[in-house]
Amino acid sequence: MIRMANSFWSDVDRHVLRYGGGFTPEIIDRAEGSHVVTEDGRRVLDFTSGQMSAILGHSHPEIVATVREGIGKLDHLYSGMLSRPVVELSRRLAETLPDPLEKVLLLSTGAESNEAAIRLAKLVTGKFEIVSFSRSWHGMTQAAVNATYSAGRRGYGPPVPGNIAIPTPNPYRPDFVDADGQLDWRRQLDFAFDLVDAQSVGSLAACIVEPIVSSGGLIVPPEGYLAALHAKCRERGMLLIADEAQTGLCRTGDWYAFERSGIVPDILTLSKTLGAGLPLAAVITSAEIEERAHELGYLFFTTHVSDPLVAAVGNTVLDVLTRDDMATRAAESGAHLREGLEKLRAEHEIVGDVRGRGLFQGLELVLDRESKRGSDELGRWVTRRCLELGLHMNIVQLPGMGGVFRIAPPLTSTEEELSTGLAVLDRALGEVPVGEFV
């Protein structure tokens, strides 16, 4: 077994192109429920739902049954052909959303859905400038990556003209403060759009944002922020695109995170959670926008647009989310998880902040609570120790902040599994040799 493992990692070194960060030092053999299982039989609790996607856990029996049936009946079609699973999923998604969101395009990945949404916004408005958060992550394809500022911008040449960043409203690390030292988000937002107006050449097409900024450090905008941002867009004739790749479909305790803001975006993008781990994404907009785009010749043919197999999986995902009232379950489980994380903050000085909603929580590590100074190595140390103890965690490490754990267990996680994960994290935090990182 050791020889086989050595051969595996030798093949990795020789043949696998590295695509960002390091690889987890385990050979994963299978995954089931809330766990991944290594080749040597070690069960690791998965607090990231794979890539924030497996909201029903790994190998959910109803998803497995759908795939088995679909692969033998209807897997893939010419992009211009439609099937019942595709039309059914489109209708059912529209039924989960407020008016006027009712027109659906089914694709494969989050980047692809954001690419399609930005392309749609540019065509319909006849403009080309795109505004997004300074801590954003919307994908690695051209339009999506040019609206991404949290990582991946250096070394690839000039970005597409017309992309403008605005400050991310981070209550834990405020840049504009009021008399009480709290984030003055209204003043920050006014300042942001003064800069947008100064940089714009008069061609503002859209603003694309995550209702909860994930890869930028799991940052929850203050209450009222998204509504005020929506108003700024309206004043300028811009469309608002909500990227709910990670927050959509019950994860935050609501079907969609934007619902709490009291607004309806012009375009909504979904991915990750929609396929419960399989490659399925969606762009959803109004009939008015779709009609205008069609008149102008909107084109977004891809090899896997409207594929029936993954659409059937999407229908099964909606079946389970609805039948098992997963929004309520995520809210209740999230309250248990949040209570445990708050206890960790009370007990460990290196826990600077806890934030998030439902089963989408963030925990920020700092060396010093007063200065909020972070350490990349501190975050890596805790991540490694958690894995050794049987818990897989994901940490975001960006300039200007400490390490932020994105905690997103499957919605099917039991209270016992959540408690086990919290206990492992508690132990890892308690073992940190803080003096080595000062």
Q: Which long-range contacts (CB under 8 A, 24 or more apart) does 11-20 make?
A: 20/152
The C-alpha atoms of residue 376 and residue 142 are separated, in whole angstroms, by: 29
Looking at 46, 129, 184, 243, which residue is catalytic? 243
Q: Is the alpha carbon torsion for 97, 103, 108, 113 positive or negative?
A: negative
Q: What is the DSSP letter of 160?
A: P
Looking at 112, 129, 210, 254, which residue is catalytic? 210
The C-alpha atoms of residue 229 and residue 358 are separated, in whole angstroms, by: 23
The C-alpha atoms of residue 142 and residue 179 are separated, in whole angstroms, by: 42
Q: Is 246 known to be catalytic? A: yes
Q: What is the secondary structure of 175-233 as a DSSP string?
A: SSB-TTSSB-HHHHHHHHHHHHHHH--S-EEEEEE-SSB-TTT-B-PPTTHHHHHHHHH
Looking at 103, 232, 236, 272, which residue is catalytic? 272
Q: Is 364 known to be catalytic? A: no
Is residue 24 classed as helix, strand or coil in its secondary structure?
A: coil
- Closest residue by Cα to residue 418 from 309, 320, 321, 344: 344
The C-alpha atoms of residue 43 and residue 27 are separated, in whole angstroms, by: 12
- Closest residue by Cα to residue 33 from 16, 49, 22, 53: 49
Give the pairing of strands 163-166 and 239-243: unpaired
Which amino acid belongs to residue 382?
Answer: V
- Closest residue by Cα to residue 405 from 373, 363, 357, 354: 363
Looking at 188, 246, 361, 397, which residue is catalytic? 246
Looking at 122, 127, 137, 266, which residue is catalytic? 137
The C-alpha atoms of residue 100 and residue 155 are separated, in whole angstroms, by: 41
Q: Is 406 known to be catalytic? A: yes
The C-alpha atoms of residue 425 and residue 387 are separated, in whole angstroms, by: 10
CA distances for 371 relative to 172, 401, 404, angstroms: 11, 11, 16
Looking at 103, 236, 357, 406, which residue is catalytic? 406
Q: Is the alpha carbon torsion for 399, 404, 405, 410 positive or negative?
A: negative
Alpha-helical regions (H) of 72-132:
84-95, 110-125
Q: Is 436 known to be catalytic? A: no
Q: Is 137 known to be catalytic? A: yes
- Beta carbons of 221 and 143 less than 8 angstroms apart: no
Q: How far is CA 127 from the centre of its chain?
A: 27
Question: Catalytic residues, which ones?
Answer: 137, 210, 243, 246, 272, 406
